[in-house]
Amino acid sequence: MDKPKVVLGVSGGIAAYKACELLRRLTESGHEVRVVPTASALHFVGAATWSALSGNPVSTEVWDDVHEVPHVRIGQHADLVVVAPATADTLAKAAHGLADDLLTNTLLTARCPVVFAPAMHTEMWEHPATQENVATLRRRGALVIEPAVGRLTGVDTGKGRLPDPGEIFEVCRRVLARGVTEPDLRGRHVVVSAGGTREPLDPVRFLGNRSSGKQGYALARTAAARGARVTLIAANSTLPAPAGVDVVPVGTAVQLREAVLRAAPEADAVVMAAAVADFRPAAYAAGKIKKKDGQEPEPITLVRNPDILAEISADRARPGQVIVGFAAETDDVLANGRAKLKRKGCDLLVVNEVGELKTFGSEENEAVVLGTDGSETAVAHGPKEALAETVWDLVAERLS
Ligand SMILES: Cc1cc2nc3c(=O)[nH]c(=O)nc-3n(C[C@H](O)[C@H](O)[C@H](O)COP(=O)(O)O)c2cc1C
């Protein structure tokens, strides 16, 4: 089988060096990559680097190898075009259809999915001109990844940083796998909770659970790659932030509830994949609980935590909002799942079997998604990403 053909456009931002890592990931995972830098990009990383790492010739202008008509051919043959970093200037040219170098010509001739990963100073990103250009590109079907917040060129910090190249690669991989040119969750805002809450007993101890956050992160990554604006409420997870996703870190069930209630009013869909503790210690000891000679420890009294899924399902923040719950069951999985779907009042319930060595922390999952309409969608054992795609397919059906 032919290798998928990827065009990596690189424009003239300080983050151009990070595109070398993206290029490596793409070539090492079996993609044929043609790098098309702008002339400005070559001030940051030279043509020799792009050519040697990609194994392909590199030009910035339409005047090289004219007999091969590269200004048309490169775009026409691409399965994916990703521009990383995308400068304010390149976004503006793309939005207005300018074609004064090889990259902008390629963007006009490509009929495959196009991904832009903008990177620039916060002022440039927030400027109405840039925001309108981004909106135009999104309206036309391009996937424009929200920049990350963090250190920029020099000492500045703010929104405008290029997301981690590994995470941009994950977006590219998912977009290529779907093979559709229009991101179907474009214009949608989704909230995903992930990880496991921790309920403190004293300053050093907590009651927790085995959730790693991998399923919730897979849901967030997949939704972003399908064009959604994603708020990821992450309980105690150390996983890398997915590209373009707004991560809200939380610790306890009560904090998670507050974050969900804050984000839900703007959300078209809420997917509650976090493992939220049902109970928390009734009392919190301000100092570390000590062993006392000859005495048995005090029993721990628990109180119930709020039931966030039932609460947001009963009192929808928006009409038509789709709410998805997860049920981790150890036995009688489907029967318990059906009862839980009724009790919680959500639209979809992802039922999976968990155990000490099952699902938690694993890269794989298998589940049945139950719908209030009586539907049952079985997802075979496979990567958590596959389950995430099915969940978003079912959510997208309900949103439309
Ligand atoms: C040191 C330096 C860093 C720059 N970093 C960025 C950047 O991160 N993002 C951006 O949009 N422009 C940045 N610029 C400005 C662009 O290089 C400039 O707008 C250029 O015309 C972009 O051309 P291109 O879009 O054809 O690559 C930077 C310029 C310099 C000198």
- In tens, the pLDDT along 114-146 reads 999 999 999 999 999 999 999 999 999 999 999
Q: Which of 124, 147, 178 is the last residue of a domain?
A: 178
Spatial separation of the C-alpha atoms in residues 351 and 369, rounded to whole Å: 6
* Percentage above 90 pLDDT, the chain: 83
Which residue numbers belong to the known binding site? 278, 288, 306-309, 326, 340, 344
pLDDT at residue 360, rounded to an integer:
58
What's the CA-to-centroid distance between 15 and ligand 1, angstroms?
10
Which residue, judged by its Cα, is nearest atom 22 of ligand 1? 12
Pair (259, 321) in one structural domain: yes
Residues of the domain holding 355: 189-399
Average pLDDT over all residues of the chain: 94
Q: Determine contact, residues 10/38, Cβ cutoff 8 Å.
A: yes
Pair (172, 283) in one structural domain: no
Q: Determine contact, residues 305/276, Cβ cutoff 8 Å.
A: yes
- Tens-place pLDDT, residues 214-270: 999 999 999 999 999 999 999 999 999 999 999 999 999 999 999 999 999 999 999
Per-residue pLDDT band for 180 (boundaries 50, 70, 90) equals confident
Q: Determine contact, residues 221/174, Cβ cutoff 8 Å.
A: yes
Nearest 5°: phi and psi at 294? 75, 5
Q: How far is CA 156 from the centre of its chain?
A: 25
Rg (C-alpha) for the chain, rounded Å, is: 24
What's the CA-to-centroid distance between 9 and ligand 1, angstroms?
14
In a domain, 183, yes or no: no
Query: In 3-state terms, the chain is what percent helix, strand and coil (to 5)?
Result: 35, 25, 35
**Helical residues (DSSP H) of 296-353, grouped into ranges:** 308-314, 333-344
Spatial separation of the C-alpha atoms in residues 160 and 265, rounded to whole Å: 26
CATH of the domain at 11: 3.40.50.1950
Q: Which of 124, 145, 178 is the last residue of a domain?
A: 178
Pairing of strands 279-281, 302-304: antiparallel
Among 372, 366, 329, smallest CA distance to 349 is for: 372
Owner of token pair 């928006």: 318
Of 105, 133, 209, 236, the catalytic one is 209
The amino acid at residue 46 is G
Query: Residue length, the chain?
Result: 400
Pair (205, 159) in one structural domain: no
Q: Which of 127, 157, 178 is the last residue of a domain?
A: 178
Pairing of strands 269-272, 229-235: unpaired
pLDDT at residue 357, rounded to an integer:
53
- Residue 40, both tokens: 């400005």
CATH of the domain at 334: 3.40.50.10300
Which residue, judged by its Cα, is nearest atom 19 of ligand 1? 89
Pair (174, 240) in one structural domain: no
- Tens-place pLDDT, residues 88-104: 999 999 999 999 999 99
- Residue 225, both tokens: 């790659």
Residues 6+ apart with CB under 8 A from 138: 144, 186, 187, 227
Number of independent structural domains in the chain:
2
Ligand 1: residue of 89, 91, 122, 133 to mutate (most ligand atoms within 8 A of CB) is 89
Ligand 1: residue of 8, 10, 14 to mutate (most ligand atoms within 8 A of CB) is 14
What's the CA-to-centroid distance between 37 and ligand 1, angstroms?
12
The amino acid at residue 37 is P
What is the DSSP track for 239-275?
A: SPPPTTEEEEEE-SHHHHHHHHHHHGGG-SEEEE-SB
Among 175, 171, 183, 189, smallest CA distance to 84 is for: 171
Among 387, 41, 5, 19, smallest CA distance to 216 is for: 387
Pair (91, 138) in one structural domain: yes
Pair (126, 245) in one structural domain: no
Angle at 389 between CA 267 and CA 194, to 5 degrees: 55
Which residue, judged by its Cα, is nearest atom 10 of ligand 1? 87
Pair (200, 122) in one structural domain: no
Ligand 1: residue of 40, 106, 153 to mutate (most ligand atoms within 8 A of CB) is 40
Neighbours of 64 (CB within 10 A): 13
What's the CA-to-centroid distance between 39 and ligand 1, angstroms?
11
Residues contacting ligand 1 via CB (< 6 Å): 11-15, 38, 40-41, 87-90, 119-120, 124, 153
Active site (annotated) includes residue 352: no
pLDDT at residue 356, rounded to an integer:
54
Pairing of strands 189-195, 269-272: parallel
In a domain, 87, yes or no: yes
- Tens-place pLDDT, residues 353-378: 776 555 556 778 889 999 999 999 99
What's the CA-to-centroid distance between 16 and ligand 1, angstroms?
10
Q: Determine contact, residues 5/68, Cβ cutoff 8 Å.
A: no
What's the CA-to-centroid distance between 56 and ligand 1, angstroms?
25
Pair (232, 297) in one structural domain: yes
Per-residue pLDDT band for 311 (boundaries 50, 70, 90) equals very high
Q: Which atom of ligand 1 is nearest to the CA of 101?
A: 26
Which residue numbers belong to the known binding site for CTP? 278, 288, 306-309, 326, 340, 344
Q: Which atom of ligand 1 is nearest to the CA of 37?
A: 27
Distances (CA, A) of 50 to 45, 188, 288, 343, 356: 8, 36, 56, 57, 46
pLDDT at residue 64, rounded to an integer:
85
Q: Which atom of ligand 1 is nearest to the CA of 160?
A: 8
Output the CA torsion 154→160→163→169 (10° steps).
Answer: -120
Pair (197, 73) in one structural domain: no
Pair (141, 206) in one structural domain: no
Pair (272, 174) in one structural domain: no
* Percentage above 70 pLDDT, the chain: 98
Pair (227, 268) in one structural domain: yes
In a domain, 389, yes or no: yes
Which residue, judged by its Cα, is nearest atom 29 of ligand 1? 13
What is the DSSP track for 373-396?
A: TS-EEEEEEEEHHHHHHHHHHHHH
- Tens-place pLDDT, residues 374-398: 999 999 999 999 999 999 999 999 9
